[in-house]
Amino acid sequence: MKLRTIARHLKEGLKNVGRNGWMTFASVSAVTVTLLLLGVFLVVMLNINNFGRNLEEDVEIKVYVDLTATDEQLRELGETIRDIPGVSQLRYSSKDEELKNLINSLGDQGKAWSMFEQENPLYNAYFVKTSDPRKTSKVAERLKTLDFVSEVKYGEAEIKRLFKVVDISRNVGMALVLGLSFTAMFLISNTIKITIFARRREIEIMKLVGATNWFIRWPFVIEGLLLGVFGAVTPIALIYWGYSYAYDTVSPMIDSSFIRLLPTEPFIYKIAGVLILIGALIGMWGSTMSIRKFLKV
Amino acid sequence: MIEMQDVYKQYKNGVHAINGINVTIKSGEFVYVVGPSGAGKSTFIKMMYREEKPTSGAILINGINLTTLKERKVPYLRRSLGVVFQDFKLLPRLTVYENVAYALEVIEESPKNIKRRVLEVLDLVKLKHRARSLPGQLSGGEQQRISIARSIVNSPKVLIADEPTGNLDPDTTWDIMEIFKEINNRGTTIVMATHNREIVNTIRQRVIAIEGGKIVRDEMRGDYGYEA
């Protein structure tokens, strides 16, 4: 395509946006509403996902070491664990440390445990984290087979339930996002169809004087793209403002290691990028769909 | 050159518009296509610029076989043709100059050539002085002259006209015919469907009469042949 032609298509596309004032407004509004819903949804879904990931990362396998193990054997066991595929982090905690932690975590009531300082009933322990939380149970099974391992513990039931919740929220989220995108596409394609209908004569003449289909299509595709991008502006602004506000108010109120909102930046920029991209794509798709019928001359 | 061999056209609604047409039109000829309404004239004309595709048979225009022509090649066929309609088909928001230039812009002609060619053809149809007007400010005859200018601006070998004088008063009709004659004299083949008995009987040319989707008469220097 010649540069001159590209410039012409851009100019025509822009001109059409201005020329079809009310239809432009209608299309942009349609995109705005859908992208706003989609954007809010994305924000919520990504945050849920993030909670899920944080929870997953919190999963630790606790390996209690048999008291008969010598220091040397204890050290060897540590090295064997480190070599198991899927193990990403390893932390050792002696039984004395374990007791101290226990006492500290119980506060005042913990003092009752102080009497065990002479005769510590706890075990030395290794804390294992896996590179992928889904490998946890596999790694745990492997750990059970090692020498001097007296017990392996991890929240089996909790983990399974957690994964289920995270999976369901992901799937439901994806389905809703897809559904909303399609709604937006049909809204745009319908509004653009009306603008094209008003100009079917122009298209007919172009076809009769020998314009190729792509030559005719480009300005409409650009028009659709612009409508989509314009439609993304308001939702982005609202979400930016809304999320920053929510983040600043909500974050200080929750004190938890895993339920945390994603920091405003760069998260909000990613959302903005996604919304612009989706707006542009559905705009272009919508106009391509709606022009098809009119090209058959 | 235009050649049709055993051409049949049946529309999806079952109407048999063309029932076996064989015809050869040599380059440089001026041909009237006449016949009653619904005889198949329009279909005959539309098949030439591939708005309609024959159900069977072969159509050759300047060596291009329209029956086997791929959809995406159709634009290139149309660049070698000019088409004029009864309702002019001008774009109301564009000026006279822009309307004519449009036909060259969409085939990506260079701006220099566009300007030269547009002024040339506006001169030919004697409307150079109205270049900046909008179609709505012109009379019907003037609008048709613009549409003719647009149809020949890319120097087509064949000019196809579907009742070009159907909406015009008699005086204007003669002006338009003058222009067609001039274009024909420059070597362009002209195929013109018409209901205008006076034109056909005065400016004698080859006459092809279509009835019931068939050619019923084909005479060099023929007459209109139907009662008015």
Reported as a single tens digit per residue, the pLDDT across A187-219 is 777 777 777 777 788 888 888 888 898 888 888
pLDDT greater than 90 at residue A69: no
In this structure, are B11 and B46 located in the same domain? Answer: yes
Mean pLDDT of chain B, nearest integer: 92
From B151, which residue of chain A is nearest by alpha-carbon distance?
A209
- pTM listed for this prediction: 0.69
pLDDT 10s per residue in chain B (228 long)?
899 999 999 999 999 999 999 999 999 999 999 999 889 999 999 999 999 999 999 999 988 999 999 988 999 999 999 999 989 999 888 999 999 999 998 888 899 999 999 999 999 999 999 999 999 999 999 999 999 999 999 999 999 999 999 888 988 999 999 999 999 999 999 999 999 999 999 999 999 999 999 999 999 988 888 765
In this structure, are B115 and B127 located in the same domain? Answer: yes
In this structure, are B134 and B161 located in the same domain? Answer: no
Q: Identify the pLDDT of residue A259.
A: 65
Position A256 confidence tier, pLDDT thresholds 50, 70, 90: low
Which domain, by its residues, includes B118? 88-155
Q: Say whether B102 and A2 touch across the interface (CB within 8 A).
A: no
Q: Say whether B108 and A5 touch across the interface (CB within 8 A).
A: yes
- Would you kindly state where each structural domain of chain A is located, as residue ranges? 3-55+161-295, 60-154
What's the CATH code of the domain at B181? 3.40.50.300
Q: Say whether A202 and B105 touch across the interface (CB within 8 A).
A: no
As its CATH architecture, domain A60-154 has 2-Layer Sandwich (3.30)
Measured between alpha carbons, how far is B182 from B39 in angstroms, rounded to an integer?
Answer: 29
SS (H, E, C) A122-173: CCEEEEEEECCHHHHHHHHHHHHCCCCEEEEECCHHHHHHHHHHHHHHHHHH
Task: Classify residue A60 as exposed, middle or buried by CB count within 10 Å of its CB (0-12, 13-18, 19+).
Answer: middle
Q: Which residues of B touch A216 (CB under 8 A)?
A: 106
Measured between alpha carbons, how far is A290 from A287 in angstroms, rounded to an integer?
Answer: 5
Of the candidates B155, B177, B194, which is a domain's last residue?
Answer: B155
Which of A207, A209, A294 is most worth mutating to test chain B (most B CB atoms within 10 A of its CB)?
Answer: A209
In this structure, are B134 and B172 located in the same domain? Answer: no
Q: Which residues of A touch B62 (CB under 8 A)?
A: none
Of the candidates B101, B122, B155, which is a domain's last residue?
Answer: B155
Of the candidates B108, B136, B155, which is a domain's last residue?
Answer: B155
**Chain B closest-CA separation from residue A288 CA (Å):** 17
Inter-residue contact A121 to A174 (CB < 8 Å): no
Considering only residues A145 and A112, tell me which one the structure prediction assigns the higher pLDDT. A145
Token couple for A121:
């009933």
Measured between alpha carbons, how far is A107 from A84 in angstroms, rounded to an integer?
Answer: 37
Q: Say whether B75 and A202 touch across the interface (CB within 8 A).
A: no
